[in-house]
Amino acid sequence: MASSLFTEPDVGALTLPHRVAMAPLTRNRAGEGNVPVDLNATYYRQRASAALIVSEATQVAPKGQGYPRTPGIHSDAQVEGWKKVTDAVHDAGGRIFLQLWHVGRISHSSYHDGELPVAPSAVQAEGQVITPDLEMVSFETPRPLETREVPQVVEQYRRGAENARRAGFDGVEIHGANGYLIDQFLRSGTNRRTDRYGGSLENRLRFLREVMGAVTEEWPADRVGLRLSPLSPAHGITDETPEATFSGAADTAQEFDLSYVHLVEPSEPKPPVAGDGETARVFAAVREAFDGALVANGNYDRESATEAIDSGYADLVAFGRAFLANPDLPRRLREGLPINVPDEDTFYNGDERGYTDYPTWDELQNGATAETLDALSELSPRG
């Protein structure tokens, strides 16, 4: 009997060939000016068998950058670079959305000519940031955006969405997860504003709502998704009422009739609604608030992904590390083939090694070296 992972779902405007999506993966391999290059196009083309690729996080403005060699979508050169990627994916029969990103406080003045990063409030993130010179330094206390500045940042998302359309993407995903700018506005621990963007939940949702409004001026809502991470503690971010906050965010996506909500989940249980306590309550509340497609993401394997689909919890399951190391992941999951193990030393920065040199199953069977087989073809317990 065929796995439910390989049935054809309708997700917004798209009818997809199966339910195995590729999660956004920051790889720090953009070229000068944060422009995508031919190597990036090769990487995405190799993975075009995904039901849907969500691109690596892509900054909508120079102030949105917080890591070296991450691509942007705010210059004409970046648009042209991304056209190479979308053309390559489409030529291989795939579909790709651009993830719209602003890091907010998760940055450093060294990226911004000495100016502090911006955020909803002057709350310093925990941990360290990597500078353009590849040094690790402590996060700085960000500069709070003035009320009059917030609509200017919303406009940056709109222009990013417009540029994504110019670059040939099939849609866009709004990055509202992992402690970055939208998440900082949503959560009570990082949003201590007293203007119309802070305080009550309605006010903390306002920035997200305005971004959705701007993006859906450029794209039909059925080609726009939203990524959320309700219980992620990234960079020390917290919220006093996550069930209310994130069901509110999902309800906002419902108001705009977005294509999907993409959830970053804890590793266990799978799916999170199968457990009990706060985790189950929060994710069940999000699922109840949004009746569009739900994309689950977080340490799934073939068995747990199938369970998430069969139970009606998710419509797609996005794989990250497994897609990084297995360009032909959908085939491997369909046929129960061994999974290449990713090389963590090459996740960030570098060149083609650990980026475009992972073998497909056919390549492993047709001339791969013994060393490659030993290094890459171990069975991995998680997808």
Q: Domain extents for the chain? A: 4-323
pLDDT confidence tier of residue 377, bands split at 50, 70 and 90: very low
Does 4-323 carry CATH code 3.20.20.70? Answer: yes
How confident is the model over 311-317, as a mean pLDDT?
97
Whether residue 1 is predicted with pLDDT greater than 80 in this model: the reply is no
Residue for token pair 């330094």: 137
How confident is the model over 107-115, as a mean pLDDT?
98
Close Cβ partners of 126 (under 8 Å, ≥ 6 residues apart): 139, 235, 236
Residue 365's pLDDT is 87
pLDDT in tens, 169-209: 999 999 999 999 999 999 999 999 999 999 999 999 999 99
DSSP three-state, residue 47? coil
- 135: exposed, middle or buried (Cβ count in 10 Å: 0-12, 13-18, 19+): exposed
Specify the amino acid at residue 126. E
Residue 349's pLDDT is 81
User: CB count, 10 Å around CB of 278?
Assistant: 12
Q: How far is CA 346 from the centre of its chain?
A: 19
Tell me the pTM: 0.95
119-125-130-133 Cα dihedral, nearest 10 degrees: 60
How confident is the model over 292-307, as a mean pLDDT?
96
Q: Where are the alpha helices (DSSP H) in 7-148?
A: 38-46, 76-91
pLDDT in tens, 136-171: 999 999 999 999 999 999 999 999 999 999 999 999
Specify the amino acid at residue 319. F
Give the integer Cα–Cα distance in Å for 72 and 317. Answer: 26
Work out the percent of the chain whose per-residue pLDDT is above 70.
95
User: Is-catalytic flag, 157?
Assistant: no
CB burial string 181-206: b at 16+ within 10 A, e below: bbbbbbbbebbebeeebbeeeebbbb
Give me Rg for the CA atoms of the chain.
20
Whether residue 371 is predicted with pLDDT greater than 60 in this model: the reply is no
- 133: exposed, middle or buried (Cβ count in 10 Å: 0-12, 13-18, 19+): exposed
Catalytic one of 44, 67, 111, 180:
180
CA-closest candidate to residue 100, choices 75, 74, 66 = 74
Close Cβ partners of 191 (under 8 Å, ≥ 6 residues apart): 120, 121, 184, 185, 197, 198, 204
Is residue 137 within a helix (H) or strand (E), and if so which, with residue range?
strand 136-138
- 213: exposed, middle or buried (Cβ count in 10 Å: 0-12, 13-18, 19+): middle
How confident is the model over 40-62, as a mean pLDDT?
98
Give the integer Cα–Cα distance in Å for 259 and 265. Answer: 19
User: CB count, 10 Å around CB of 349?
Assistant: 15
Minimum mean pLDDT range among 105-119, 200-214, 349-363: 349-363
